[in-house]
């Protein structure tokens, strides 16, 4: 094997572009491993662990971009580095003669001068620098999509107070999805314009909501991500309140759909009270029974139920998600896999979808273990005899490798690992489409699912999160998974119910009310 590495000094590109460069290199035949990242101390340690000589990284700094590859020959390594460099350059606004992106060299002041009409800044820098960059953008009069994570909680509160004082929005930290004025930011789906505005403290929760609204005929006006901690007691729903207020004044928005993982109860009560008199549906995933709703606010505890309720406010009917011949498919799967299999495993690229699955499965088959931040006390790996859902976007799975939305191959090893467990009856996977996601995830996942299900292996239940306009082709992605033998459901929550039905042998669960 040959190891090759190249540096671009004082050149920053965001994590999405880094992952595109990594994927381009890994797609070259003969490449064993590749990475594109900033040369932070942690990433330098990863390089050393992969075989890079210490002297090759001795003078590397956190502001330097590197492309590294391990391949079967020097020629293959050179081809891979060229592919990575091309992918990185094509993802920025321009490149100069030495191949370094012009956009990466520009300060915020330079960018504002070059684009005086801009009103939003996307900040995607290491967490320790993100708050400063966001404050600078706010001071320049820009709304901020703060893609970066690892921003300290006190700095998040200070940023949001700064934004409120200027009448601006801070979407984030860790806000991966937004759509403003018809333009998608981060991981967003291609959807038609409509009358529903979405506020989301949950990234794939926003994507699932906008995709279902589009597929079911309603469309979307705006999507404002506020960051997963906004509804915590510490942050107090600062941006959620501001986003709801902004959508109330938006002439294109008639109904607001608010999506959140479990909020602090007092914060939820206060935020929803500000929405009184607004047509608003609040999806609080895992909502405990008896939570009070102000007049005019409709509560739901799954994404499917929330979108269905939103359509009701628009006097539109949602399709029947329970009658897609899934009962017979469940019975066939149960007969094929054998009576000894009774467990469910979920391998998710979307954190919100993982948590929703924990809620749905917990109500139908009992305790489900997970690695989500809400459930870290349950630990890993899953003991024998337990159900388990994993959020594969968490750091323990993405350190040194692409996010599974970008590289579906990141799940294949785990698919085979859990598929080899003789107790597992069903494996749930989500396949997320849209801008920023892999261009053809089913092409990678389909053969792996087919292999897992061979010779009496567990049934794979798949949900394709996407709209008919997404660049990957929604129908084609579903068809490829169906051809592989997967059961494909209409919503994410239905995938969990189908998996529970297979594990228990109770086909009636596919018609369970959500």
Percent of the chain with pLDDT over 90: 63
Q: What is the CATH number of the domain that holds 30?
A: 3.30.310
332 lies in the same domain as 304: no
Q: What is the pLDDT of residues 463-488, one digit of tens each?
A: 999 999 999 999 999 999 999 999 99
Q: What is the pLDDT of residues 432-469, one digit of tens each?
A: 999 988 889 999 999 999 999 999 999 999 999 999 99
State the Cα–Cα distance between residues 425 and 345, nearest whole angstrom.
8
Q: Does 337 have pLDDT greater than 80? A: yes
Instruction: Return the pLDDT at 103.
Output: 44
362 lies in the same domain as 222: no
Q: What is the pLDDT of residues 194-220, one digit of tens each?
A: 999 999 999 999 999 999 999 999 999
Residue 208 lies in a domain: yes
497 lies in the same domain as 353: yes
Confidence tier at 8 by pLDDT (50, 70, 90): very high
> Chain-wide mean pLDDT for the chain?
89
Cα maximum dimension of the chain: 68
Q: What is the CATH number of the domain that holds 175?
A: 3.40.50.261
C-beta separation of 71 from 50 below 8 A:
no
Render 210-259 in DSSP notation, one character per residue.
Answer: HHHHHHTT--EEEEEE--TTTTSTTTTTHHHHHHHHHHHT-TT-SEEEEE
8 lies in the same domain as 77: yes
239 lies in the same domain as 330: no
Confidence tier at 91 by pLDDT (50, 70, 90): low
37 lies in the same domain as 88: yes
367 lies in the same domain as 496: yes
Q: What is the pLDDT of residues 295-311, one digit of tens each?
A: 889 999 999 999 999 99
233 lies in the same domain as 86: no
Range 167-186 average pLDDT:
92
Cα-Cα-Cα-Cα dihedral sign, residues 281, 284, 287, 293: negative
Percent of the chain with pLDDT over 70: 92
Residue 459 lies in a domain: yes
Q: Does 252 have pLDDT greater than 60? A: yes
C-beta separation of 25 from 80 below 8 A:
yes
Confidence tier at 192 by pLDDT (50, 70, 90): very high
State the Cα–Cα distance between residues 39 and 64, nearest whole angstrom.
6
87 lies in the same domain as 130: no
| Domain end among 278, 313, 348 | 313
Question: Model pTM?
Answer: 0.86
338 lies in the same domain as 407: yes
Instruction: Return the pLDDT at 325.
Output: 65
Q: Does 105 have pLDDT greater than 50? A: no
Residue 161 lies in a domain: yes
Q: Does 375 have pLDDT greater than 50? A: no
Report the candidate in 119, 91, 117, 120 with the shortest Cα–Cα distance to residue 12.
91
Residue 318 lies in a domain: no
C-beta separation of 108 from 136 below 8 A:
yes
Residue 125 lies in a domain: yes
What is the extent of the structural domain holding 266? 109-313
Q: Does 92 have pLDDT greater than 70? A: no
| Domain end among 102, 123, 141 | 102
- Of 278 and 168, the structure prediction assigns the larger pLDDT to 168
Q: Does 425 have pLDDT greater than 70? A: yes
Range 157-185 average pLDDT:
94
Q: How many structural domains are present in the chain? A: 3
Instruction: Return the pLDDT at 199.
Output: 98
| Domain end among 102, 118, 146 | 102
Instruction: Return the pLDDT at 288.
Output: 76
Residue 319 lies in a domain: no
Count, residues in the chain: 514
State the Cα–Cα distance between residues 35 and 52, nearest whole angstrom.
12
């Amino acid at each position: 094997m040959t190891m090759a590495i190249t540096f671009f000094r004082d050149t920053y590109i965001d994590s999405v572009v880094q992952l595109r460069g990594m994927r381009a290199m890994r797609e070259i035949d003969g490449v064993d491993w590749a990475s594109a990242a900033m040369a932070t101390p942690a990433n330098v340690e990863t390089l050393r662990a992969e075989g890079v000589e210490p002297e090759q990284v001795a003078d590397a700094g956190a502001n330097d971009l590197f492309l590294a590859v391990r391949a079967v020959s020097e020629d293959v390594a050179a081809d891979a580095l060229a592919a990575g460099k091309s992918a990185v350059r094509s993802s920025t606004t321009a490149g100069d003669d030495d191949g370094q992106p012009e956009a990466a060299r520009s300060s915020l002041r330079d960018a504002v001068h070059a684009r005086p009409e801009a009103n939003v800044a996307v900040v995607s820098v290491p967490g320790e620098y993100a708050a400063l960059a966001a404050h600078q953008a706010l001071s320049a009069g820009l709304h901020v999509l703060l893609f970066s994570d690892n921003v300290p909680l006190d700095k998040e509160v200070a940023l949001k107070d700064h934004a409120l004082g200027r009448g601006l929005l801070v979407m984030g930290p860790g806000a991966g999805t937004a759509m403003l004025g018809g333009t998608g930011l981060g991981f967003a789906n291609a959807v038609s314009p409509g009358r529903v505005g979405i506020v989301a403290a949950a990234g794939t929760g926003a994507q699932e909501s906008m995709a279902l609204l589009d597929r079911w005929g309603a469309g979307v006006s705006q999507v404002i991500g506020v960051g997963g901690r906004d509804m915590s007691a510490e942050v107090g729903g600062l941006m959620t309140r501001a986003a709801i207020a902004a959508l109330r004044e938006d002439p294109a928005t008639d109904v607001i759909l608010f999506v959140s993982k479990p909020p602090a109860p007092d914060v939820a009560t206060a935020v929803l009270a500000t929405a009184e008199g607004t047509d608003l549906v609040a999806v609080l995933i895992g909502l405990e029974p008896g939570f009070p709703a102000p007049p005019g606010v409709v509560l739901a505890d799954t994404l499917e139920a929330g979108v269905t309720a939103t359509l009701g406010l628009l006097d539109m009917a949602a399709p029947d998600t329970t009658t897609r011949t899934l009962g017979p498919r469940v019975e066939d799967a149960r007969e094929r896999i054998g009576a000894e299999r009774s467990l469910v495993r979920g391998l998710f690229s979307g954190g919100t979808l993982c948590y929703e699955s924990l809620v749905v499965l917990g109500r139908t088959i009992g305790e489900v273990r997970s690695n989500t931040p809400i459930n870290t006390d349950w630990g890993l790996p899953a003991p024998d005899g337990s159900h388990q859902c994993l959020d594969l976007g968490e750091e323990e799975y993405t350190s040194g490798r692409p996010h599974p939305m970008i590289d579906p191959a990141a799940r294949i090893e785990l698919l085979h690992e859990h598929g080899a467990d003789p107790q597992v009856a069903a494996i749930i996977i989500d396949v997320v489409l849209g801008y920023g996601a892999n261009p053809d995830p089913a092409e990678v996942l389909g053969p792996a699912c087919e292999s897992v299900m061979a010779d009496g292996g567990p049934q794979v239940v798949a949900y394709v999160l996407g709209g008919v306009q997404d660049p990957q082709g929604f129908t084609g992605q579903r068809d490829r998974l169906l051809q592989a033998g997967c059961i494909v459901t209409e919503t994410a929550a239905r995938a969990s119910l189908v998996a529970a039905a297979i594990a228990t042998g109770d086909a009636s669960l596919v018609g369970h009310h959500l």
